[in-house]
Amino acid sequence: MSSSMDIKSFIGGMQDLEKHRKFHWTGTFQEYLDVVRENPEVTRNAFQRLYDLIQSFGMEEYVEFKKKIVSYNFFKDPIDNGKDAVFGLDVSLMKLVNVLKAAAQGYGPEKRVILLHGPVGSSKSTIARLIKKGVEWYSHTEEGALYTFKWSIDDADLAKKILGGAKEFVSPMHEEPLKLIPYDYRKKFVEEINRGRKEGHRVAIEGDLCPPTQFIFDALMNHYSGDWTKVIDHVKVTRLLLSEKGRVGIGTFQPKDEKNQDSTELTGDINYRKIAEYGSDSDPRAFNFDGEFNIANRGVVEFIEVLKLDVAFLYDLLGASQEHKVKPKKFPQTDIDEVIIGHTNEPEYRKLQNNEFMEALRDRTVKIDVPYITKLNEEVKIYRKDFNPRKIKASIAPHTIEMASMWAVLTRLEPPKKANLTLLQKLKLYNGKTLPGFTEDNVRELRKETTREGMEGISPRYIQDKISNALVNSKEGSVACLNPFMVLNELEGGLRHHSLISSEERRKHYRDLLQVVKQEYEDIVKSEVQRAISADEEAMARLCANYIDNVKAFTQRERVKNKFTGQDEEPDERLMRSIEEKIDIPESRKDDFRREVMNYIGALALEGRQFDYKTNERLHKALELKLFEDQKDTIKLTSLVSSVVDQATQEKIDVVKARLIKYYGYDEVSATDVLNYVASIFARGDVKRK
Ligand SMILES: Nc1ncnc2c1ncn2[C@@H]1O[C@H](COP(=O)(O)OP(=O)(O)OP(=O)(O)O)[C@@H](O)[C@H]1O
Ligand SMILES: [Mg+2]
């Protein structure tokens, strides 16, 4: 910024005065009716608005294990750059949206508390936050505009009598102005305003005014001897902009200690200063309608950890919110128009399960399960969002986040009943990988046979914390490159003190799963390094051609021409077997395998296509392993673990490193690390093949 900056034009250039003007629109009741006629959507209720908001961002449909699933873009948090995006819970969110849809159409759920229920850290609060943020944002758009009103009395004497001297009185529950139309006229009015409208929203007017606005309405009616047309001249309609910070249309209630739970926090309290003014504690003008239910009218109220509320108080809440009416002290039931969302975690819910009170709860709530993610690729997204190059300084080695996520998901899976399936294989099936002998129907069955899958296990919050720890825990205060072992060690270390792990048996199970993940990691990097070493395309193509020549000769009982000597020789059985053994083709099956390969090539030739070993996964793998075996010794990978490396070896290693960087996402540090690690495995004499 230059010091001679002209602040007025700097800020002035960024201002949007047109928007400001729209936000501060004020009009008469008549003018508001014109707005309604033009755009009846302004009169939607809270559920309709929320449902439309979610719909407005569109959706994507996909099929997973033969089931059609709708994914709503809204839950990727498009209005806030994806900050609170929710992953992997499309099925739960679909249920939630269906409830909102039924509520928007007035089929019943609008009279219930929506209860998000799930294990600790399953994104219940995140979902509630998304909804609150969305509703606030929507009210600031043209499509989501809504209105409220205030009483306004210029005449000083009348103002004194009715408003205690103030000139204006804002509807404390930000009510819809159409509620000012008395019941007797509503039916006809609604018919009239909806006349000829075939599509779009149909205006409806529901509920009474809140006690103080009703009181003022009655007083003015009295004053004008029942002439409504005069009363309505005292109404100023304004645009309503919801704001969590401003406590307008968005409320949050968090239980504190049990003694402090008081219904006034929900439905408002007497204003003692004003009692003197109005002379009675039952005068609604001497009551602050500023409880969480009141201020959240027209929008949404969130009840954090709703079952941590004292049971008696919870009854109050459920009673109060039933039928969407609340009961302020000393006043009649008051209509509310708001979405009520509570959440509770699994342990809390289970504690109360045998309580008779649960009966009442079940009756008044719509429960939506929000489980942990059980699909690896989705779990990975949670941590990629938090730990990415834009946000952290250190680099992260390939597979680090994947391995942490893999462990998290494994802790959540129930052991498969099929004896021939490991937990890791089940994870892979869930993740969309195919395994021989398993169909999509099988995977569906696997899901169906579980009882509480996703409701237990390690929470994303634990993983997030441990990744952070691993990032700052090195001697220098921060690591240059985070690798899977650093994270897995943190995860293991934390298990000892993990407060939510209830038994030693479980702790042991989680430790064992860390070993499963480490083994999987070892397999992955071994295979990557092997591939990087054998990623010499020319050598590979040569080996392949050689193999095919021999197989062809073998199947057709011919001889092969030796390229060096020019002599015809028997097919090289040793070469063929050394390749086939890599993928466990037994001696007894070798004829079949070779014939299959030839048939495959022949079929391609018929179509005029060239054979490419890359399209045949098994053969590709076999060739790779063979090439690796041939080259391993020339590269002397094992010499990496010793500190002296001769120049020729170093050059070869550098080539491999460069391939790891180019093809597998490593950087200088992580590539060196992983080469050392794999070298140490081979130095250990581990020649176990994959
Ligand atoms: N499915 C998910 N998608 C995206 N982020 C998730 C998901 N599940 C958990 N998280 C992340 O985990 C953290 C905890 O989530 P959140 O606080 O919303 O959980 P919660 O269910 O409210 O937990 P609690 O029961 O402890 O109140 C957040 O950082 C959240 O972003
Ligand atoms: Mg929470």
pLDDT one-digit tens code per residue, 652-677: 788 888 989 988 999 988 998 898 88
Of the bound ligands, which one is closest to the alpha carbon of residue 127? 1
- CA-CA distance, 326 to 332, in Å (whole number)? 9
Q: Is the CB of 263 under 6 A from ligand 1?
A: no
- Among the listed residues 399, 357, 397, the one whose alpha carbon sits nearest the alpha carbon of residue 380: 399
* pLDDT over threshold 80, residue 685: no
Would you give the DSSP letter of residue 79?
G
Q: What are phi and psi of 230, to 5 degrees?
A: -85, -40
Per-residue confidence (pLDDT) for residue 637, from 0 to 100: 67
Least confident of 518-532, 557-571, 592-606: 557-571
Grouping H, G, I as helix, E, B as strand and the rest as coil, residue 479 is coil
Ligand nearest, relative to CA of residue 345: 1
Token duo for residue 248? 């307008």
Tokens for 173, please give them.
Answer: 């529950």
Report yes or no: 167 and 190 within 8 Å, Cβ to Cβ: no
Any atom of ligand 1 within 6 Å of the Cβ of 398: no
Residues 6+ apart with CB under 8 A from 450: 414
Q: Whose CA is nearest to atom 16 of ligand 1?
A: 123
Q: Are 335 and 209 in contact (CB under 8 A)?
A: no
Strand 147-152 to strand 168-170: parallel, antiparallel, or no bridges (unpaired)?
antiparallel
The more confidently predicted of residues 500 and 217 is 217
pLDDT, tens digit (0-9, with 9 covering 90-100), for 96-154: 999 999 999 999 888 889 999 999 999 999 999 999 999 999 999 999 999 999 999 99
| Residue 120 in contact with ligand 1 by CB distance below 6 A | yes
CA distances to 5, 306, 379 from 370, in Å: 52, 15, 14
Mutational pocket test of ligand 1: of 76, 345, 382, the residue with most ligand atoms within 8 Å of the beta carbon: 382
Q: Which atom, in ligand 1's list, is nearest to the CA of 129?
A: 18
Atom of ligand 1 nearest to the CA of 126: 18
Q: What is the mean pLDDT of residues 204-230?
A: 95
Question: Six-digit token pair at 244?
Answer: 């969590």
Determine the distance separating the centroid of ligand 1 and the alpha carbon of 161, expressed in angstroms.
53
Q: ∠ CA 677-680-685 to the nearest 5 degrees? A: 140
Which residues lie below 8 Å from residue 329, measured CB to CB, with a gap of 6+?
Answer: 263, 264, 267, 268, 269, 270, 287
Alpha helices in 70-182 (DSSP H): 90-104, 124-139, 156-163
CA proximity to 52, closest of 157, 244, 200: 200
Look at 372 and 608; give whichever has higher pLDDT.
372
pLDDT digits (tens, 9 = 90+) for 394-423: 889 999 999 999 999 999 999 998 878 999
- Using pLDDT thresholds of 50, 70 and 90, give the confidence band for residue 690: very low
Ligand 2: centre distance to CA 341 (Å): 12
pLDDT band at 458 (very low <50, low <70, confident <90, very high): very high
CB 382 less than 6 A from any atom of ligand 1:
yes
Q: How far is the CA of 372 from the centre of ligand 1 (A)?
A: 9
Distance 459 CA to ligand 1 centre (A): 8
CB 51 within 8 A of CB 93: no
Cα(454) to ligand 2 centroid in Å equals 17
Dist. CA 347 → ligand 1 center (Å): 16
Which superfamily, per CATH, for 25-190+204-371?
P-loop containing nucleotide triphosphate hydrolases (3.40.50.300)
Of the listed ligands, the closest to the CA of 347 is: 1
Kindly give the number of the ligand 1 atom that is closest to the alpha carbon of 118: 21
pTM score of the predicted model: 0.86
Element (H, E) at 46: helix 46-56
Domain map (residue ranges) of the chain? 25-190+204-371, 376-521, 535-630
CB-based contacts of 474: which residues, under 8 Å, 6+ apart? 486
User: Tell me, what's the pLDDT at 430?
Assistant: 95
pLDDT category of residue 348 using cuts at 50, 70 and 90: confident
CA dihedral 180, 143, 242, 291 (to 10 degrees): 50
**pLDDT for 488 beyond 50:** yes
Distance (angstroms) between ligand 1 centre and the Cα of 121 equals 4
- Residue 540 Cβ inside 6 Å of ligand 1? The answer reads no
CB 334 within 8 A of CB 296: no
The helix/strand/coil state of 165 is coil
Residues 365 and 108 sit within 8 Å (Cβ to Cβ): no
Give me the pLDDT at residue 275, please: 83
Spacing, Cα 245 to ligand 2 middle (Å): 19
**What is the SS3 assignment for 394?**
coil
Helix (H, G, I), strand (E, B), or coil: what is residue 189? helix
Instruction: Give pLDDT, residue 638.
Output: 64
The predicted structure's pLDDT at residue 642: 60
Question: How far is it, in rounded angstroms, from Cα 119 to Cα 311?
Answer: 21
Q: Is the CB of 87 under 6 A from ligand 1?
A: yes
Asked if residue 643 has pLDDT above 70, the reply is no
In angstroms, the CA 612 to CA 597 distance is 12
Q: Which two tokens stand for residue 474?
A: 């090195």
Q: Is the CB of 623 under 6 A from ligand 1?
A: no
Mean pLDDT (the chain) is: 89
Q: Are 206 and 298 in contact (CB under 8 A)?
A: no
Please give the distance, rounded to the nearest whole angstrom, from the Cα atom of residue 122 to the centre of ligand 1. 4
Q: Answer yes or no: is the C-beta of 89 below 6 A from any ligand 1 atom.
A: yes
Residue type (1 letter), 505: E
Q: Which residues contact 333 (CB under 8 A, 6 or more apart)?
A: 325, 326, 327
pLDDT above 90 covers a percentage of the chain that reads 56
Pocket residue to mutate for ligand 1, from 94, 96, 116, 126, most atoms within 8 A of Cβ: 126
Backbone torsions φ then ψ of 604, nearest 5 degrees:
-65, -45
pLDDT, position 191:
94
Range from 64-73, 75-84, 238-247, 307-316 carrying the lowest mean pLDDT = 307-316
Of 72, 75, 125, the residue with max ligand 1 atoms within 8 A of its CB, to mutate for a pocket test, comes to 125
Share of the chain above pLDDT 70, in %: 94
Nearest ligand 1 atom to the CA of 122 is 21
171-180, 566-575, 599-608 — most confident range: 171-180
C-alpha of 212 from chain center:
42
Going by DSSP bridges, is the β-strand pair 287-288/269-270 parallel, antiparallel, or unpaired? antiparallel
The response to whether residue 121 sits with its C-beta less than 6 Å from ligand 1 reads yes
| pLDDT tops 80 at residue 243 | yes
CA 2 centroid distance within chain: 43
User: Helix (H, G, I), strand (E, B), or coil: what is residue 366?
Assistant: strand
- 672 versus 473: the higher-pLDDT residue is 672
Alpha carbon 111 to chain centroid distance? 26
Element (H or E) spanning 430, and its range? helix 423-430
For residue 362, pLDDT over 90 is answered with no
Q: Which of 89, 123, 467 to mutate to test the pocket of ligand 1 (most atoms within 8 A of CB)?
A: 123
214 lines ligand 1 (CB under 6 A): no
Kindly give the distance from the C-alpha atom of residue 122 to the centroid of ligand 2, in angstroms, as a whole number.
8
Q: What letter would DSSP give residue 207? A: S
371 close to ligand 1 (CB < 6 Angstrom) = no
Asked whether the beta carbons of 291 and 317 are under 8 A apart, the reply is no
Closest Cα to residue 405, out of 430, 435, 447, 373? 373
Nearest to 238 by CA among 165, 139, 166, 380: 139
- Say how many Å lie between the CA of residue 527 and the centre of ligand 2: 41
Length of the chain equals: 690
Q: Given this model, what pLDDT does residue 689 score? A: 42
Any ligand 1 atom below 6 A from CB of 92: no
CA dihedral 134→64→122→422, nearest 10 degrees, is -170
pLDDT in tens, 54-97: 999 999 999 998 899 999 999 999 999 999 999 999 999 999 99
Atom 1 of ligand 1: nearest residue by CA position: 87
| CB 461 near ligand 1, within 6 Å | yes
Q: What is the mean pLDDT of residues 427-452?
A: 90
Q: How close is the Cα of 315 to the center of ligand 1, in Å?
A: 27
Residue 106 is given by DSSP the state T
Segment 562-583 shows an average pLDDT of 87
Give 65's Cβ-side CA count (13 Å radius). 19
pLDDT at position 688 = 46
Q: Which helix (H) or strand (E) holds 342?
A: strand 339-345
Q: Write the DSSP assignment of 507-552 as a string of letters.
A: HHHHHHHHHHHHHHHHHHHHHHHHHHHH--HHHHHHHHHHHHHHHH
Q: Is 124 in the pocket of ligand 1 (CB under 6 A)?
A: yes
Q: How far is CA 382 from CA 239, 252, 377, 490, in A?
A: 38, 25, 10, 18
